[in-house]
Amino acid sequence: MQFNSWIFPIFFAVVYAGYLGLGMGRTRAQNAWLLVASWVFYGCWDWRFLGLLALSTLIDFVLARRIEASDDERTRKRLLLVSVGTNLGILGFFKYFDFFLESTVRLVERMGFQPDVTTLGIVLPVGISFYTFQTLSYTLDVHRRRMPATDDLMSFALFVGFFPQLVAGPIERARQLLPQIQNPRRITAGAVEAGVWLIVWGYFKKTVIADQAALVANPIFAGWEGARGLEPLLGVLGFTIHIYCDFSGYSDIARGLAKLMGFEFMLNFRLPYLATGPADFWRRWHVSLSTWLRDYLYVPLGGNRGGPWRLYRNLFVTMALGGLWHGAAWPYVIWGSYHGALLVAERFVRDVRGGREDSFGLVGEWTRIVLFWPLMLIGMGIVRCESVPQFLSLWSAQSLELTPRATQGFGTLLYFTWPLVVMQLAQHFSKDLLVALRLPVVLRGLLVGLLLLAMLVFGVREPVEFFYFQF
Amino acid sequence: MPHSASKRNARLVLGLALLVAVLGNVAAKRLFNPPWLSPDRRIIGEKFRLLREGPADVLVLGDSSAAFGVNAGVLGEALGQTVHNLATFGRFEVAGSAWTLDEYLARHPAPGTVLVVHGARTWWLEASGFDLGLLPLEPGYWARREPRRSVSLQALGEFALDRWAPLYTQHRSFAAGLRGRGWAVPERPEIGVGGTLALVLTEEEARWSNPASFVERFVKPELARRVPGLPLRQRQAAEALARRAEAGGFDLVFVQAPQWDGLESVPEHVAVIDEVQAFLAHLAAASPRVHVVAGGPRGFPTDAMENPYHLLGAPAEGYSRDLAVALRALPLASRD
């Protein structure tokens, strides 16, 4: 069941009515209701994978309690390794088994052998990368004694499987979400207003901007051999708009739904296309993942301890593995490595200049934003291309020729993207991501109404799957 | 400036937003006359205008194979009678023909002959709420008219969207208009005298026009999902048409529509045609007012067709002349 399917609004209306009907004082009854709803939501894709979700939930619930109960560091570590091994084992099997097998076969073939191996054609359970990292962070935090293990299985199951963020994040931390699940919640007028705004804006970004941009970009990547002139740039630009509006749209809807129910999710995007450099970009893009990677991979690797070269290594390895998290294909690994290299280069320059954090004025800030765009676009091109030859072909085919398709495509992107640009500039200069809520109430109502009308007229009808579902 | 939030404000924002959405659709319906913003609506609008316009000796009802295949002018000339082609789309099922006939009979005396022409595909299609919304009849007409038809909740929702949210159901036209690409008022197919649809393919269309790919893409998958036997709702609709002929004292002639000859090599399609022919023969045997043109559907080669069921203009003229000959061979009471 996707947020942009017909059935979802009906599903949410039923769930929300039941949730409110149970009464805000009856937290456990509400949690039970939300858990059932979440499993129904997930089971709509493939009920068989509910078993995996339950397995992940149960393993980490039990192991975290045993970790907490033990004072012996070796036992605690062993239990943690069981949790990490099981979770990553499941993720590795479903997501990476075929990839590594195929890669190995290709390598062996290059060495002159003809191995008789067939891949298993394993179906990737939707959202597995998200909920695996979410549940892992809980065990890791308990192991680090940053939070107590919970003895409430139902609350923990809801933490792992809460439907708004189950399949595409934000990757929540137990420290933040579990207390919200276990304690009575309040739904304030402010939360409702913010929630409604986030939902409407998220749907607008997804169905109007992202899906229309995809209609521009996808044919270029599908027929990449024939792309010429500015068409490769158009394709990459279209994808850049598509992936951001698609993913941040999903995150906005998830956060909005959560607010309507009295929950507060992590912020996942902070205007990433206004980043002044690679490090700034990763402080703004998919924040719940980048902070996860920082806390549970980069820091354990040594972080910035042990001298600059270890720091560079840790940065690079973290980003390369972050790339692999996104998908079991070499373009993702290359994309992660590319961003790792950018981060290392940026850090190197900073170190050479004595580690100073530059303060730059408005002109300096915008110069950096503009200068970072080409580097970011290259990254987007890498992650969108299905193969290295495709990327190289598009790269070499581009020129400044404004073909008719490019003219039309840029026009379409401009037509659908200007509301995003206006909104992001307002958010940036006001330093307020919910700047729309500052509008007088009548203007706010009109704006929401206009967005609804725009979705009716320009929204792409066929439910186009959210891009990040494949991760 | 801080965010101002209160229950009153939240209600006001939601209320205003919904009001804007509703008013936008009302304005679109009133100002832009949506029936003309899509090919289907334009065709139905024209057919119902013709229906209201005046009586005819012969009415042609049915699906798009009839709308394209039966040339009202040629048939009328051959029969020496006035012919109105009120056929629309197969998506309205056989019931669509009965409902259209009711609209005609409510305004005019019964015609001498009613031709009902359906392609085999119509017998397995099922109307969605969006389809039901296209017919310019009062809401809920499907439950009040013979044959009565039940609709699902989803279809009701679709009907409501179609009727009262034109910005949603005709979004392509409005999107084109708002983007300055001109209102997408369709001019093709041409609607000729007597309601006949005529399509002259451009050279490029002719190159790409391929009934075979239509069969592969739509017909075969639909046949694979089809439950054998004619659906009860379709049979009931044909029986309701027969009852109207008895009551109104006119001849009802069922014709299996012309089709692409490649369909003769699709066994599942042939099976549907046999089922239809057997059912219609049974219906004709039960009433002297009901007739069936013998021989099943006539096949045409690829270059005569736009798709497996739509004849192009010139072959349709020839087919209509042949149809007149077949009609003359029938023992129609209206000719006596």
- pLDDT for res B27: 85
pLDDT digits (tens, 9 = 90+) for B149-167: 888 888 898 898 888 888 8
Q: For A297, which DSSP code?
A: I
Which candidate in B7, B9, B162 is best for mutational testing of the A interface (most A CBs within 10 A)? Answer: B9
Report chain A residues whose CB lies below 8 A from the CB of B9: 189, 193, 441
pLDDT band at A393 (very low <50, low <70, confident <90, very high): confident
Helices within A44-152 (DSSP H only) = 50-69, 73-91, 97-110, 128-143
CA distance A268 to A285: 7
For A190-201, what is each residue's pLDDT tens digit?
899 999 999 999
Contacts of B37 in chain A (CB under 8 A): none
Long-range contacts of B35-41 (CB under 8 A, 24+ apart): B35/B136, B36/B185, B37/B166, B37/B170, B37/B173, B37/B174, B37/B183, B37/B184, B37/B185, B38/B170, B38/B172, B38/B173, B38/B184, B38/B186, B39/B186, B39/B188, B39/B189, B40/B89, B40/B134, B41/B134, B41/B170
CB distance A437–B3 less than 8 Å? yes
Distance CA B108, CA B86 (A): 14
pLDDT reported for residue A51? 87
Enumerate the H helices of chain B as residue ranges.
7-31, 39-53, 64-69, 72-79, 93-105, 129-134, 141-144, 153-164, 166-169, 171-178, 203-208, 211-214, 220-225, 232-248, 267-286, 313-328
Query: Any residues with CB less than 8 A from the CB of A318 and at least 6 apart, and which?
Result: A293, A294, A297, A298, A301, A340
Tell me, what's the pLDDT at A464? 58
- The pLDDT, as a whole number, for residue A127 is 80
Model confidence band, residue B58 (pLDDT cutoffs 50, 70, 90)? very high
Provide the greatest CA pair distance for chain B: 87
Chain A residues within an 8 Å CB radius of B6: 189
| Token pair 């993207």 in the structure block, residue | A417
Task: Judge whether residue A341 has pLDDT over 90.
Answer: yes
C-alpha separations of A12 from A255, A432, B144, B261 in Å: 14, 28, 34, 50
Helix, strand or coil for residue B329?
Answer: coil
Distance of CA A295 to the CA centre of its chain: 16
pLDDT of residue A417: 93
Residues 6+ apart with CB under 8 A from A191: A259, A260, A262
Chain A positions touching chain B (beta carbons under 8 Å): 188-190, 192-194, 196, 200, 415, 434, 437-438, 441-442, 444-446, 448-450, 452-453, 456-459, 461
Task: Quote the pLDDT of residue B183.
Answer: 56
Q: How far off is chain A from B173, nearest CA to CA, in Å?
A: 9
CATH superfamily of B34-127+184-329: SGNH hydrolase (3.40.50.1110)
Q: Which of A27-31, A318-322, A443-447 bottoms out in mean pLDDT, i.e. has the lowest?
A: A318-322
- pLDDT of residue A119 exceeding 60, the answer is no
Gyration radius (Cα) of chain B, Å:
22
Query: Is B75 or B209 the better-scoring residue by pLDDT?
Result: B75
pLDDT at residue A61 is higher than 90: yes
Q: Is B21–A449 a contact, with Cβ atoms under 8 angstroms apart?
A: yes
Query: Cβ–Cβ contacts within 10 Å for residue A107, how many?
Result: 11
Least confident range from A14-18, A110-114, B132-136: namely A110-114
For position A350, what pLDDT does the model report?
86
**Tokens, residue A79:** 């239990």
Of B3, B12, B171, the CB nearest to A457: B171
Which of A192, A439, A456 has the highest number of chain B CBs within 10 A, making it the mutation to test binding with B?
A456
- Is the per-residue pLDDT at A117 higher than 70? no
Question: What is the pLDDT, as a whole number, of residue A388?
Answer: 82
User: Could you tell me if A152 and A186 are in contact, meaning their C-beta atoms sit under 8 angstroms apart?
Assistant: no
Residues of B in contact with A457 (CB under 8 A): 167-168, 171, 174-175, 178
Contact flag A194-B3 (C-beta cutoff 8 Å): yes
On the question of pLDDT at A463 being above 60, the answer is no
Query: Is B188's pLDDT higher than 90?
Result: no
Q: How far, in Å, CA of B96 to CA of A403, rounded?
A: 48
Residue B2 has pLDDT above 60, yes or no: no
B149 in the Ramachandran plot: left (φ > 0), alpha (ψ -120 to 50) or beta? beta
Residues of A identified as active-site: 326
List of chain B residues whose C-beta atoms are within 8 Å of the C-beta of residue A196: 10, 13-14
Check pLDDT > 80 for residue A421: yes
pLDDT score recorded for residue B42: 83
Q: What is the pLDDT of residues B109-139, one digit of tens each?
A: 999 999 999 999 999 999 999 899 888 899 9
Q: Is the pLDDT of residue B61 over 90?
A: yes
Q: What are the structure tokens assigned to B147, written together?
A: 């044959």
- Token output for B248: 């109104």
Measured in degrees and rounded to the nearest 5, phi and psi for residue A207 equal: -80, -30
H helix and E strand count, chain A: 21, 0
Nearest Cα to Cα of residue A406 among A281, A254, A235: A235
Distance from the Cα of B22 to chain A's closest Cα (Å) equals: 9
Confidence label for A118 from pLDDT (cuts 50, 70 and 90): low
Report the pLDDT value the prediction gives residue A301, as an integer from 0 to 100: 85
What's the rounded Cα separation, in Å, for the pair A453 and B22? Answer: 9
Give the residue from B1, B3, B164 with the most A CB atoms within 10 Å of its CB, the best one to mutate. B3
Q: How many CB atoms lie within 10 A of CB A148?
A: 12
Contact residues for B120 (Cβ-Cβ < 8 A; gap 6+): B256, B257, B259, B263, B269, B272, B273, B276, B297
> Does position B36 have pLDDT exceeding 80, yes or no?
no
Q: Is the pTM of this model over 0.80?
A: no
Decide if B13 and A461 are in contact by the 8 Å CB cutoff.
no
CA distance A289 to A295: 10
User: Does A449 contact B17 at a Cβ distance shorter than 8 Å?
Assistant: yes
Q: B180 in the Ramachandran plot: left (φ > 0), alpha (ψ -120 to 50) or beta?
A: left
The string of DSSP letters for A263-295 reads --PPP--S-GGG-SSHHHHHHHSSHHHHHHHII
Q: Which phi-psi region, left, alpha or beta, contains residue B197 (left: φ > 0; alpha: ψ -120 to 50)?
A: beta
Note whether B165 contacts A192, CB cutoff 8 Å. Answer: no
Which residues in chain B have Cβ-Cβ distances shorter than 8 Å to A449?
A: 16-21, 24
Averaged pLDDT, B314-326: 94
The reported pLDDT for the residue numbered A342 is 94
Long-range contacts of B106-110 (CB under 8 A, 24+ apart): B107/B51, B107/B52, B108/B54, B108/B55, B109/B55, B110/B248, B110/B249, B110/B250
Confidence of residue B25 (pLDDT cuts 50, 70, 90): confident
Distance CA A68, CA A147 (A): 9
CA of A196 vs chain B CAs: smallest distance (Å): 8
CB atoms near residue A380 (< 10 Å): 21
Tell me the torsion sign for CA atoms B140, B142, B145, B150: negative
Fill in the DSSP letter of residue A124. Answer: P
- Pairwise pLDDT comparison (A167 vs A232), residue with the higher score: A232
pLDDT band at A228 (very low <50, low <70, confident <90, very high): confident
Name beta bridge partners: B60. Answer: B85, B115
Strand partners, B311: B305
The complex scores an ipTM of: 0.73
Residue B266: both structure tokens together: 């699709």
Q: According to the model, what pLDDT value does residue B176 have? A: 73
**CA–CA separation, A217 and A221 (whole Å):** 7
Which residues does B11 contact at the CB level (< 8 Å), separation at least 6?
none
Distance from CA of A345 to the nearest CA of B (A): 40
Report the pLDDT averaged over residues B30-48: 76
Cβ-defined contact of B20 to A193 (cutoff 8 Å): no
Question: Between chains, do A189 and B13 touch, taking CB under 8 Å as contact?
Answer: no
The Cα B6–Cα B215 span in angstroms is: 59
Domain definitions of chain A by residue range = 7-185, 190-276+360-470
pLDDT confidence of B187, banded at 50, 70, 90? low
Using one digit for the tens of pLDDT, what is the confidence trace for A400-414?
A: 888 888 998 999 999
For residue A284, the distance in angstroms to the closest alpha carbon of chain B comes to: 23
**Location of structure tokens 């899906």:** A211
Give pLDDT tens digits for B286-312: 999 999 998 889 999 998 898 899 998
Q: What's the pLDDT score for residue A209?
A: 94
Which one-letter amino acid corresponds to residue A463? P
Name the burial class of residue A360, with classes exposed (0-12), middle (13-18) and buried (19+) by CB atoms within 10 angstroms of its CB. Answer: exposed
pLDDT of residue A120 exceeding 60, the answer is: no
A457 to chain B: closest CA residue: B171
Q: Which of A406, A471, A462 is nearest to A5 (CA)?
A: A462
Residues of B in CB contact (< 8 Å) with A are 1-7, 9-10, 12-21, 24-25, 165, 167-168, 171, 174-175, 178-179
- What is the band of A52 on the pLDDT scale with cuts at 50, 70, 90? confident
> pLDDT category, B264, cuts 50, 70, 90?
very high
Nearest-CA residue of chain B relative to A192?
Answer: B10
- Would you say residue B12 has pLDDT above 80? yes
Question: Residues A40-55, buried b or exposed e (16+ Cβ, 10 A)?
Answer: bbbeebeeebbebbee
- Segments making up each domain of chain B, as ranges: 1-31, 34-127+184-329
DSSP state of A461: -
Within 8 A of A461 by CB-CB distance, chain B residues are 171
More confident residue, A361 or B91: B91
Is residue B33 predicted with pLDDT exceeding 70?
no
**Between residues A398 and A240, the one the model is more confident about:** A240
Please report the number of interchain residue pairs, chain A to chain B, with beta-carbon separation below 8 angstroms: 86
Query: B58 pairs with which residues across the strands?
Result: B83, B113
CB distance B111 to B55 below 8 Å:
yes
Query: Is B16 within 8 Å of A448 when comparing Cβ atoms?
Result: yes
Q: Which residues of A are less than 8 Å from B1 in CB distance?
A: 438
Q: B13 vs A438: CB contact, 8 Å cut-off?
A: no
C-alpha span between A64 and A59 (Å, rounded):
8
